[in-house]
Amino acid sequence: MKTNAHYTDGRRDEKVVGFKVLENECVWMRAGVVNFRMCENDYDCFNCSFDRAMRTAMDAQSPLKGKGVPLSWAQEMRKRYVGTFKPCRYFLTGQIGPPGNCSRDYDCDECPIDLTLEYKPLMETITTEVPATGKTTVHEETDSEVLVKECVWMRAGIISFHLCETDYDCYRCMFDRSMRAAMSGESPSEYEAKSLAWEDEIQDRYEPVTGQCIHFLAGLTGAPEKCSNNYECSNCSVHHDLTYYKKGGPMPLGEPEYKLASGFKVADGYYYHYGHSWVHIIHGGCVRVGIDDFMAKIFGQAGQIKLPQEGASLKQGSVAWVMARNGHRAPVQSPLSGRVLAVNHGALEHPEISHDDPYEKGWLFHLEPSFLKREFQGLYFGEECLQWMEKENQSLLRLLGPEYERLAATGAEAVDDLFGSFPEIGWNRLVRTFLHTGEKR
């Protein structure tokens, strides 16, 4: 690297603090795109992963053409629902009831349902009634309102200027994905490939193994043993007969209040998946996910937790993460479908947190749910959680044998590390019985 000579008090070759730093500024900093970035590649931009990622980010701001164009929402729906039943998007989000079939092949323009639920409320928010004249005027965009739309990368001081074009839906934003790749030091293709590789590994190796109805697992009278509706509880007549419609609401962060079921903590206000994960609603666009006290106690402290990457797409009922201990692995199902917003790096670095405090500090990741109202119907809530947990404890005692059933009848507390205390019960047996997952054969 070249060193320029500078004059200070008449002396040559004396370094002036700061001037050498500016020599090495990245070309993207020189162009005014990023606020600060030093070149680490001796200006060999062709072989620089940061440069490639930034070029991809800039391309994401222009209209895409050809094969790289992502499918529109309507195209994705047509590809997903190829049969006669094409559910309306408002039916999927719980805004309208049955039959909920779209008769327009997802062409929402001038659809009366779309006009009622989306267009009219939108117009009401951008119009103002003027009492003096009775006229309606539309707000004109001002310079101050433009700044409200500034990209999160601009707010963070990384990008000099970029306006959000996706209503802050960062995890569907190509610009955001490219910027994340740039910050990671990987090319966009490498960054995306890493996430896909993890998802492929999980799906290729593990699978859900249960077919039992969630109400049968909870011991409800009249529940069939087998689920015949592929866990689509919102459209199941048996589900509607046995329980009520659940309406999720946000809860403040912090340590929740608990109830005990056979010695296991059940957090008030949390929703539970039959595979022993929980959901805590932070707000409509974000939920927090973790493992419950039952799983923490029967499997003991994990030595490693393998979580999905930020931005990964999860599907309810599919294996989403893995808890590992001494060569044993426990794959866990995702309680909801959605996109991973953030992971708890504290739990990744110190897995014991999820064992010691599974409901607060030991949370695992934040998820942007895709079908919150619909998929909530397949989770336990309130008294259902306690009844289900009691039934799970009975199943656990049957696995341990009559001696332990008599011990439980005395009111003894749940063992903190059941597998560590009774390894003869079998790790895989516990996984298949309570997490309802297993390795593909």
CATH number of the domain at 281, please.
Answer: 2.40.50.100
- 377-399 pLDDT per residue, tens: 899 999 999 999 999 998 998 88
Given a cut of 90, whether residue 331 has pLDDT beyond it is yes
In this structure, what token pair is assigned to residue 220?
Answer: 């409800």
Token pair, residue 346, equals 């504290």
Q: What does the pLDDT read at residue 199?
A: 64
Alpha-carbon dihedral angle through residues 281, 282, 288, 290, given to the nearest 10 degrees: -60
Q: Which residue has the higher pLDDT, 162 or 271?
A: 271
Residue 138 pLDDT more than 60?
no
- pTM value is 0.59
Provide the pLDDT for residue 114: 72
Can you give the C-alpha Rg of the chain in angstroms? 27
Q: Determine how many CB atoms are found less than 10 A away from the CB of residue 66.
A: 5
Confidence of residue 435 (pLDDT cuts 50, 70, 90): very high
In this predicted structure, the answer to whether residue 198 has a pLDDT above a threshold of 50 is yes
Domain that holds residue 364: 207-439
Lowest mean pLDDT among 94-98, 268-272, 336-340: 94-98
What is the rounded CA–CA span in Å between residue 419 and residue 300? 7
The predicted model gives 172-181 an average pLDDT of: 75
Give the number of C-alpha atoms closer than 13 A to the C-alpha of residue 332, restricted to the C-beta side: 26
pLDDT of amino acid 202: 75
Tally of domains in the chain: 1
Yes or no: say if 375 and 336 are a contact pair by the CB < 8 Å rule: yes
Position 303 pLDDT exceeds 70: yes
In the prediction, which pLDDT does 336 show?
93
Average confidence score pLDDT of the chain = 77
**Per-residue model confidence (pLDDT) at position 165:** 77
Residue 288 covered by a domain: yes
The answer as to whether 289 is a domain residue is yes
Q: What is the pLDDT of residues 231-288, one digit of tens each?
A: 878 778 777 777 766 666 667 778 889 999 988 999 999 999 999 999 998 876 789 9
90 pLDDT band, cuts 50/70/90, is confident
Q: What pLDDT is attached to residue 109?
A: 63
- Span 328-338, mean pLDDT? 93
User: Which pLDDT band holds residue 321 (cuts at 50, 70, 90)?
Assistant: very high
Bond before 369 cis per omega within 30 degrees: no
The two three-digit tokens of residue 317, written as one number: 């009922």
Q: For residue 133, tell me if it sits in a domain.
A: no
- Is 325 inside a domain boundary? yes
N-to-C CA span, the chain: 57
Q: What is the pLDDT of residue 257?
A: 92
Burial (CB < 10 A; 0-12, 13-18, 19+), residue 330, is: buried
pLDDT number for residue 72: 64
Phi and psi for 62 in degrees, rounded to 5? -100, 155
**Tens-place pLDDT, residues 2-60:** 334 443 444 444 444 444 456 788 888 888 888 888 888 888 888 888 888 888 888 76
Residues 418, 345, 174: CA angle, nearest 5 degrees: 130
Q: Which two tokens stand for residue 106?
A: 């997802």
- Specify if 69 maps to a domain: no
Query: Confidence class of residue 402 from pLDDT cuts 50, 70 and 90?
Result: confident
Rounded to an integer, what is the distance from CA 380 to the centroid of its chain?
19
What DSSP designation does 179 have?
A: H
Domain-located, residue 115: no
- pLDDT confidence tier of residue 294, bands split at 50, 70 and 90: very high
Of 5-19, 66-80, 196-210, 413-427, minimum mean pLDDT range: 5-19
Q: What's the confidence (pLDDT) of residue 187? A: 59
Question: φ, ψ for residue 224 (rounded to 5)?
Answer: -70, 150
